Amino acid sequence: MAGNTFGKVFRITTWGESHGRGVGVIVDGCPPRIPLDEKIIQQDLDRRRPGVGPTSTARKERDRIKILSGTLNGLTTGAPIAMMVENRDVKSSAYNEIKDLYRPGHADFTYQKKYGIRDWRGGGRASARETVGRVAAGAVARKVLSMKSISVIAYTLELGGVRVSSIDLAEVDKNPFRAPDRSAAKEMGKQVSKIKKAGDSIGGIVEVIALGVPPGLGEPVFDKLDAELAKALMSIGAVKGVEIGAGFEAARSLGSQNNDPISTDGFLSNNAGGILGGISNGEPIMARAAVKPIPSIEIEQLTITTDNKPAQISVKGRHDVSAIPRINAVCEAMVCLALADFHLRQKAIKDF
Amino acid sequence: MAGNTFGKVFRITTWGESHGRGVGVIVDGCPPRIPLDEKIIQQDLDRRRPGVGPTSTARKERDRIKILSGTLNGLTTGAPIAMMVENRDVKSSAYNEIKDLYRPGHADFTYQKKYGIRDWRGGGRASARETVGRVAAGAVARKVLSMKSISVIAYTLELGGVRVSSIDLAEVDKNPFRAPDRSAAKEMGKQVSKIKKAGDSIGGIVEVIALGVPPGLGEPVFDKLDAELAKALMSIGAVKGVEIGAGFEAARSLGSQNNDPISTDGFLSNNAGGILGGISNGEPIMARAAVKPIPSIEIEQLTITTDNKPAQISVKGRHDVSAIPRINAVCEAMVCLALADFHLRQKAIKDF
Amino acid sequence: MAGNTFGKVFRITTWGESHGRGVGVIVDGCPPRIPLDEKIIQQDLDRRRPGVGPTSTARKERDRIKILSGTLNGLTTGAPIAMMVENRDVKSSAYNEIKDLYRPGHADFTYQKKYGIRDWRGGGRASARETVGRVAAGAVARKVLSMKSISVIAYTLELGGVRVSSIDLAEVDKNPFRAPDRSAAKEMGKQVSKIKKAGDSIGGIVEVIALGVPPGLGEPVFDKLDAELAKALMSIGAVKGVEIGAGFEAARSLGSQNNDPISTDGFLSNNAGGILGGISNGEPIMARAAVKPIPSIEIEQLTITTDNKPAQISVKGRHDVSAIPRINAVCEAMVCLALADFHLRQKAIKDF
Amino acid sequence: MAGNTFGKVFRITTWGESHGRGVGVIVDGCPPRIPLDEKIIQQDLDRRRPGVGPTSTARKERDRIKILSGTLNGLTTGAPIAMMVENRDVKSSAYNEIKDLYRPGHADFTYQKKYGIRDWRGGGRASARETVGRVAAGAVARKVLSMKSISVIAYTLELGGVRVSSIDLAEVDKNPFRAPDRSAAKEMGKQVSKIKKAGDSIGGIVEVIALGVPPGLGEPVFDKLDAELAKALMSIGAVKGVEIGAGFEAARSLGSQNNDPISTDGFLSNNAGGILGGISNGEPIMARAAVKPIPSIEIEQLTITTDNKPAQISVKGRHDVSAIPRINAVCEAMVCLALADFHLRQKAIKDF
């Protein structure tokens, strides 16, 4: 109800603020006897860590995950899995001077209106630091899915206007932008440097693929697999658009172009992005997320103070130039969480 | 859990198949003492009715709504509001010949895989006829919102490749395509006739605006207002992409372009689409939905039989050329439902 | 949220008022391919029908159930099962004279306070007629359970102070009070006649047993099987107390008496009522519900008018002397619903 | 779904095992701007602490609560409130010898059957230590309720067969059994010493009263206030029976005795326990819980090993003689949680 919970059977609840004591998550509903330890979680967490890529902030969190409950001798027990990362490198003083200003593009204004109180220290609950809990929980979901041979990978389709021209999954982990196209990655690097120098920020597009998803996942009508994926991705702070399969291209297509013909060996194309009527059809699930530019920029912007006086703001602090590539890990986590949940939901009614 | 419910406080559950006894909905959680009668519901329902526009099917349902419970002397009582429309003009025989074929682009294949059984009569539960319940419930939500001076309108931004070049809301109800631009509407007409003649179908883009939404609606993290709107719209069968505010354009923007500056009179632009950090900021809510072409086309397509033999299919029956404009009413309904729900969720914690 | 929904995976939502157009229920989450038709439902419904026993009202509803959706050729499809009974024998005029009085022991006062409006016709939503939907849905749950060899039976343990002295399940359907003890049933008959003549009403105790429940149903901590059964039974209007296994007797026992010793053939006693730590242990589930006397009595009572003036009331209308035995069918339904739900919940995580 | 969450708007999720790293809870949905600090929580927690009463275990946990998130300068912010207590005095070795035995009356057997794995260290998730999270969350709920002048108190009505003969709330905190009757408390003391010496354990009855509850809390049909209280109390491990108001006595009453007459000054009796039709009527809420004897006893009992061989068990460890009085704090917490939740649920639809 208060927005901090995702999933129905495989269900997570996150907590924590940017500059509070820590951030964490409870994973409830994970099947028992799944191998799980802190190393598995840490691996995914390291991919969203600050300070690892060319677009990223100078904040250096060690971000060591602790599993507080729910496992015994390296296996899940069916009990809730509580996990937590302590906040260490916290400099709230840096935020002191913008404490009474609403930062454009941020949630400062809306949180104040909603709650009548606002944790201004580093964005509080609205900070991207909140995604630590998502990624930790996503790692559990990924482990669950891996036992059913389902895998999820996200990569950068576009950054700062540079679009990849080919998809080579083997390339993704080899360049700092997680682009599946080496030469595009180089162009992205040039573009990002230029924008950084200008004190500005930039957006991009992430594509997520899920392989090995069997037919039958997803529920009809409101909880369609594509609907939940759209919610899952759009719930990431910086995402402003979501496409499944052909996405907005489908809006310009004829039925005879957009329908995927069926053969005895499967579908002959995948404009549907692996989903028909909200239910997986056995083809790869394909989703894309439009990522807006990081709102914290050094360039001066018009704003108001919390007591409604005109002001100007230049956000210095330690901020990424783009949410990409770190947001890739979050996109993967959200897709893993949605799929793990649907997998268990389908188990509840299957083979009665 | 089984996908037929939407909302948390203002909560609806729909039921019914294309060729069953009827379709309906329960609205639970509607505040008491709201004026409500069948006329209010019927008005919205008439806008999604088959056989009213140039893109539409020949199926002529009278679609008379009956309120079965939850009101007394024209006021809601706080009890669940059950509503129902009987199915009358049902010709299941028309579907007899495609009973053993999976129609490309439809949910036939995935429902069979998910449930091991499939109601083949007119698409069963996966038929767009399911949206009758959504629109009826949406009319209740619209009434609730109207009492808080919130209004929601959807219009056609693009159809068959024809994009409107101006937005005149007064024009929307005056042309059969619900385009806010009269000359674009004419072009759409020509395009649709051509496609109809070819036995094909076509997609388009719907834009939905909510006016009068106060700041503070939406919940942080997972239940962001934009995340729920994305789910709400993507849960409509034909929708394959959703944008909020600048949407995919934001992915190509600089922070200095995309951030909406704030003045003492409000925001100076609306790239955010009225939502910051998942919470409404007082500006108009702006969302767009990419609508794929209707999958039922006369043009022959490759497919397989239910016992996995290659086949060809030409779907004759009575089918729309485009889900637009009828889908506009459904998009409005979903946005109304999401906003009514968030309005009540916010009431629960506000002014404690 | 608004209280009309029960269950998580096997989930029902009821609607309808005593004197509205009808009463009904949606069953969502029923597994596909379960044999189901109106006859199966009607059978259970007939057992809660008015006018069938010696304690019962003169209201003669035919109560013919209609399945409106969710089945195809006598099998469930996985789609929501909507069911409805029309209200026919409705005499709202009989309630006209008590329209402005709060009936003691009824929900008139509290509904008015909660909603600021009240459907006074026959108790509106608070009428026991609401249980039609529960029993219809319970019949679906019972069918689901029967396929796993689980059965549920309720009988009268006590009525009007007369307690059964032996339990013979074969006797239950043979006497009008559903007592498992023929001679106790006779005593109950005498007691009830006496009370009826006095214009008064009387309470009793119902015991419900579930046989064939495998170990492992129920969830830890808050959703314990006994906790959900307590909620399920206490949600029936007339129930004011619930016991599991030894119940209040356990409060006076020593640990050495109350613990059920375990042997290689199972438990050697069943003080636990088949539930340990909230999870079924393979023994019969045993629950009891304390049923208060029907509040509608002819004997004059003190009350107030809706505008807060002192008044006296004698409720004439057509009212049962006791909710027993009709409430037995409702108790069975609620236990069936809880067990079916837990069965599916357990399936979601089992044998991963 | 997995049972570790309670409440809908004011919603808690607990985690942790008896001998894991700690136990904790997330409170989600707490209204913003409520004064809250660790002292407020600690106060309630100290009342359920081990080692404080004559019936209690020798385990000495300091049980220092830490608030990890959700507050700023002593006020709630609307963000989730995560709280945690570290486990310090943990001696798992004491459980080593009963690791392969199912303790009668405990959840060992059922957890093994449900999950195929069992955290045997101190009962794992099924340990009463789990209630730390409930009590911490209950303290937040109590604070919320106090701002609406609602208070909740539990006391011991019966222990080891000794029933109080008068109710003096001022006495409750003055004797170690939380009995509202000093002389009964003395009798309880004698009874408990005798049972302790015998290596046995004993049950009792707790009564909970809520004062200041306005009319209108609770939802109709399934989520009746009494139904949720029954679930709330029955979800406590040791509870096997629940009564509201007259409870099982109502089952033996006539309508003319059990109905509470209404006067212009309120109800003239309170057999309903403050609840009519599932909704509070403004009178004190009255509930009772039957508490079974602690299953861990020194007296030898028959049981089986995890590989199904007959065995005998004498549970030594550090165990209470009775869950009373410590369970009083848990009963209060559960009633506070239920009432806080219903309070917010009612706010959502009230004064629209």
**C-chain residue closest to A147, CA distance:** C352
HSE-CB for A241 with a 13 A CA cutoff: 29
Which chain D residues touch C261 with a CB distance below 8 Å? 104, 301-303
The alpha carbon of residue A194 is apart from the nearest alpha carbon of chain C, in Å, by: 50
pTM score > 0.80 for this model? yes
Structure tokens at C264: 């290689």
* Contact at CB, C304 and D3, closer than 8 angstroms: no
CB-nearest to D251 from C290, C297, C345 is C290
Which amino acid, residue A280? S
Q: What is the pLDDT of residue C288?
A: 98
pLDDT over 80 (residue A250): yes
pLDDT tens readout for residues B101-155: 999 999 999 999 999 999 999 899 999 999 999 999 999 999 999 999 999 999 9
Which amino acid, residue A47? R
Which chain B residues touch D34 with a CB distance below 8 Å? 352
Residue A67 carries which DSSP code? E
Mutation to test the A interface, candidates B110, B217, B281, B291, most A Cβ within 10 Å: B110
CB-nearest to C310 from D244, D264, D345 is D264
Task: Write the CB contacts of A246 (distance below 8 Å, at least 6 apart in sequence).
Answer: A253, A258, A271, A272, A273, B240, B292
Judged by DSSP in three states, A222 sits in: helix
DSSP string covering D219-262, please? -SGGG-HHHHHHHHHHTSTTEEEEEETTGGGGGGSBHHHHS--E
The alpha carbon of residue D64 is apart from the nearest alpha carbon of chain B, in Å, by: 29
pLDDT over 60 (residue A225): yes
Task: Write out the residue range of the structural domain in which residue A267 sits.
Answer: 5-349
Q: What are the start-end ranges of the E strands in chain D?
A: 5-6, 11-16, 22-28, 66-67, 71-72, 75-76, 81-86, 151-159, 162-163, 204-211, 239-244, 262-263, 266-267, 275-276, 279-280, 285-291, 301-304, 310-313
Q: What is the pLDDT of residue C92?
A: 72
Mutation to test the D interface, candidates A17, A92, A108, A113, most D Cβ within 10 Å: A17
Which helix (H) or strand (E) segment holds residue C209: the answer is: strand C204-211
How confident is residue D51, by pLDDT bands cut at 50, 70 and 90? low
CATH of the domain at C20: 3.60.150.10
Q: What is the pLDDT of residue D61?
A: 55
Q: What is the pLDDT of residue D92?
A: 72
What is the C-alpha to C-alpha distance for residues A137 and C133, in angstroms, rounded to an integer?
39
**A-chain residue closest to B206, CA distance:** A251
Helix-then-strand count for chain A, H and E: 8, 18
pLDDT over 80 (residue D346): yes
Judged by DSSP in three states, B89 sits in: coil
Mean pLDDT of C21-45: 97
Which amino acid, residue B275? I
For residue C325, whether the previous peptide bond is cis, meaning omega lies within 30 degrees of 0, is yes
- Tell me the C-alpha to C-alpha distance, in Å, between residue C348 and each of B241, C351, D15: 30, 9, 20
Q: What is the pLDDT of residue B53?
A: 63
HSE-CB for A73 with a 13 A CA cutoff: 6
Task: Report the residue count for chain B.
Answer: 352
Which amino acid, residue D321? V
CB-nearest to C77 from B75, B84, B117 is B117
Judged by DSSP in three states, A16 sits in: strand
- Tell me the C-alpha to C-alpha distance, in Å, between residue A239 and each of A210, A232, A267, B227: 19, 10, 30, 9
pLDDT tens readout for residues D312-331: 999 886 678 999 999 999 99
Structure tokens at B122: 């007119």
DSSP string covering B281-293, please? -SSPEEEEEEEPP
In contact, D107 and C278? CB cutoff 8 Å: yes
Residue C324 carries which DSSP code? T
In contact, C327 and C206? CB cutoff 8 Å: yes
Judged by DSSP in three states, B158 sits in: strand
Burial status of residue C135 (CB atoms within 10 A of its CB: 0-12, 13-18, 19 or more): buried
How confident is residue C46, by pLDDT bands cut at 50, 70 and 90? very high
Which chain A residues touch B278 with a CB distance below 8 Å? 3, 107, 110, 235, 237
Average pLDDT, chain D: 94
Q: What is the pLDDT of residue C270?
A: 98
Chains that touch C (3 or more CB pairs under 8 A): A, B, D
Which chain B residues touch D349 with a CB distance below 8 Å? 9, 29, 31-32, 78, 344, 347
* Contact at CB, B277 and A244, closer than 8 angstroms: no
The alpha carbon of residue A306 is apart from the nearest alpha carbon of chain B, in Å, by: 10
Which chain A residues touch C350 with a CB distance below 8 Å? 347
In contact, D282 and D214? CB cutoff 8 Å: yes
Residue B175 carries which DSSP code? S
CB-nearest to B32 from D33, D34, D349 is D349
Cα angle at B129 between B125 and B132, to 5 degrees?
115
Judged by DSSP in three states, B25 sits in: strand
pLDDT over 90 (residue A263): yes
**D-chain residue closest to A71, CA distance:** D119
Q: What is the pLDDT of residue C60?
A: 59
Judged by DSSP in three states, A234 sits in: helix
* Contact at CB, C344 and A344, closer than 8 angstroms: no
Q: What is the pLDDT of residue A352?
A: 83
What is the C-alpha to C-alpha distance for residues D28 and A231, in angstroms, rounded to an integer?
20
What distance lies between CA A201 and its chain's CA centroid? 19
**C-chain residue closest to A78, CA distance:** C349
Mean pLDDT of C39-52: 83
CB-nearest to D344 from B31, B32, B348 is B348
The alpha carbon of residue B164 is apart from the nearest alpha carbon of chain A, in Å, by: 14
Mean pLDDT of B69-86: 98
pLDDT over 70 (residue A287): yes
pLDDT tens readout for residues A65-107: 999 999 999 999 999 999 999 998 777 777 788 889 999 999 9
What distance lies between CA B153 and its chain's CA centroid? 12
* Contact at CB, C75 and B115, closer than 8 angstroms: no
Mean pLDDT of A317-327: 88
* Contact at CB, B352 and D147, closer than 8 angstroms: yes
pLDDT tens readout for residues D259-307: 999 999 999 999 999 999 999 999 999 999 999 999 999 999 999 999 9
Residues linked to residue A267 through DSSP beta bridges, in sequence order: A262
In contact, D150 and D335? CB cutoff 8 Å: no
Work out how many domains chain D is built from and give that number.
Answer: 1
pLDDT over 70 (residue A117): yes
